[in-house]
Structure 1
Amino acid sequence: MASIETSDTKSGRRAGLRLPKAAGLVWVLVGLCVVAAFLSPAFLNPINLTNVLRQVALFGIVSVGMTFVILTKGIDLSVGSILGVCAVTAALLIGLDLPIFIVFVLTLVAGTLMGAINGIGVAFGRVPAFIMTLGMMVMGRGLALTLANGQPISLGSRTKDFMWLGRGDFAGLPVPVWVFIAISAIAIYVLRYTPYGRQIYAVGSNAEAARLSGINVRFVTFSVYVVSGFLASLTALIFVSRLTVGEPTAGEGIELEAIAIAVIGGTSLFGGEGGVVGTIIGAAILAVLANIMNLVGVSPFTQQIVKGAIIVIAVLYEMWSKRRSKT
């Protein structure tokens, strides 16, 4: 029964595979790069471009998980707190002189478990995603601050063993970029070419129709929060590796960045439409925009206003497009 496709499933798949919107986003990205180069010659400096790529990777990995969640008509406000908990966890484990591989595994397990708790609450407890992940956001930040006693945790003598993931380069590109490429490739394949990917679109398009067609809606809903938690913990490892400290406030506000990136990339907050290709371009657009504002001296507080306005404008445009398509 799970292989049966409803019309909503098919429309969701077509939405996820549609490329004209992504092509339009590419032109927006190119235009931003031209404007950035015009406003500040420093934009084209190789060091600056490398930093932009790192930003794309860091925010992009979390945003891929957010895209999975939003495709099911959900939201995950806890990714920043999960990142903070995992950053502190990694630093504490390194302080115990555990092998780096074990540190990686246990940190990823910690983030995945927090995502699973979100999934259980939303899918099986029927708690609204906004409320469940808001609660996890508050609890997670409190847990991170408690574990770290409110202070950054230094990696100490193990710093060099851990730096390669966040600061290393491979074949001319930063290692985090390669991680982002790998995660994105896997996510694109899953969403486009697997039954599970089709089920995600079906649940987001019409959960009741998906249930009647034999899809395990609760499992699919649960699983996307697990994916989001896992990718938040992976991002935490990169953060710790790059900063060489476990910062309990790491990831503050990254949920806003992830939501903005997904929405800019064409993922509908109403579920069932969008995809990772758009998310990749959305991450690049937001990173370049932030870099432009930094180069021209725009206040960080003003930058938050701009990012919030982008989310509102993107949603309003989406709603206008939907109404227009129905007329």
Structure 2
Amino acid sequence: MTSSARGLAGRIFRVDEFGVVAALVALVLVIGAFHPAFLDVDQLVDVVAQAAFVGILACGMTYLLAMRELDLSVGSTYALSIVGAATLVQHGLDPWLGAAAGVVLGAFLGAVNGFIGEAVRIPSIITTLGTLSLYRGLALAVSDGRNVADLPRTHAFFTIVGGDLFGVPVPVWVLLVVALVLTVVLRGTRFGATVRAIGSNPDAARFSGISLPRTRVQVLTLSGALAGLSGMLTLAFFASGDPTIGNGYELQAIAAAIIGGTPLRGGSGTVWGSVLGAVILGTVASGLVYFGVPINWNLFATGVVILLAVAMDSLLRRRRAAASFL
């Protein structure tokens, strides 16, 4: 392998991410040992496909956590984008254009989060705590609290985007492309370096001439656009717009990023780790079904996984600190 190829590989994958891969493989094997049907290729692909929607949200959350920020409104942005696009399509707009409008709407809602926060000088976690309810309320109001149905299911948008490519659901391919692009941006571009610099030391970043407000708005806009993109994949899959969909997705996206190895202290992030974290959450949820555990225990299981991931990250950091001291 040439030095340039190794450099590119280093920008895409990190050693830390292999630990998350090992945890995922171990989890799958444990479930498969008790329920061999879980190891069926179609079942595993289905787990990844179901995790793709949260995985795309987690990619955006990685950037925010790397800046010591959070977006609690991504689940509501996701739902409002779906409802908005579905309503446009229901009224005769071409589904491809409706989907593009849904992504733009998501980006706009993310930008609104950023501009509100900068206007009133409050952290994004407070701003998005408010817009979480605001955007969800708009989704319910626009749809009158009902599912937006009667969409042209036979249109190419629904059959292509909601179908498979080479035997793999299209959302999985989109997730892989998003993760690859955002990984290269985060680790190999000036914008990515800016995001990490702000998370490492906001004051030093400000003194070096970095515009914290502009970068914060840009990252929140990115998060909103990814929520819109994930929403359009969901719209294509279900061919309807449910205003209640995505409840709790913001917490799952945060959990996926943390499980994947993105620290809450900021300064670094792993997009691939966040994708793997989303797949781990999906694997846990599917495993509970195989073991006959009621779906109401999903949140409990998610909380346990988050605590274990945070505890493991803390332990590894202490060991590294002790090793460097010695």
Task: Select the residue among 168, 181, 201 that pairs with 2:176.
Answer: 181
CA distance in 2, matches of 1:53, 1:17: 20
1:153-186 deviation digits (Å, cap 9, x = unpaired)? 1033x12214235531112211111111111111
In structure 1, the residue matched to 2:153 is: 159
2:149 counterpart of 1:149: no
- Counterpart of 2:21 in 1: which secondary structure? helix
Partner letter of residue 76 of structure 1?
Answer: D
Q: How big is the shift at 1:101?
A: 2.5
- Which amino acid letter does the alignment assign opposite residue 259 of structure 1? I
Structure 1 position 131 matched with structure 2 position 140:
no
Matches within 5 A, 1:186-201: 186-201=181-196
Secondary structure, aligned partner of 1:208:
helix
Q: Aligned-pair RMSD on alpha carbons? A: 1.9
Partner AA of 1:133 in structure 2: T
State the 1:141 CA deviation. 0.8
TM-score between both structures, scaled by the size of structure 2: 0.90
User: Which residue of the partner structure matches residue 25 of structure 1?
Assistant: 20
Match among 293, 296, 312 for residue 298 of structure 1: 293
Displacement after TM superposition at 1:266 (Å): 0.5
Deviation per residue, 1:258-278 (Å, 9 max, x gap)? 011100010011211221121
Letter in 2 for 1:293: L
Does structure 1 residue 73 correspond to structure 2 residue 75?
no
CA contact (8 A) 1:144 1:248 kept: yes
Q: Distance in 1 between matches of 2:121 and 2:306?
A: 27
Return the alpha-carbon distance in structure 1 between the equivalents of residues 112 and 162 of structure 2: 32
Q: Which amino acid letter does the alignment assign opposite residue 117 of structure 1?
A: V
Equivalent-residue separation in structure 2 for 1:209 and 1:41 (angstroms):
53
Residues 148, 241 of structure 2: 8 Å contact kept: yes
- For residue 84 of structure 1, what is the aligned residue in structure 2? 79
Tell whether 2:225 aligns with 1:226.
no
Contact in 1 for aligned 2:13/2:272 (Cα 8 Å): no
User: What residue in structure 2 maps to residue 45 of structure 1?
Assistant: 40
Deviation at 1:122, TM superposition (A): 2.9
Tell me the equivalent position of 1:11. none
Aligned partner of 1:268 among 259, 263, 269: 263
Identity of aligned pairs, percent?
A: 36
Stretches of structure 1 that go unaligned for 5 or more consecutive residues are 1-14
Verify the 8 A CA contact 1:124 1:218 in the aligned structure 2: no
State the one-letter code of the partner of 1:177: V
> Aligned partners of 1:282, 1:244: CA distance in 2, in Å?
27
User: Moved runs in structure 1, 4+ residues, more than 6 A?
Assistant: 15-18
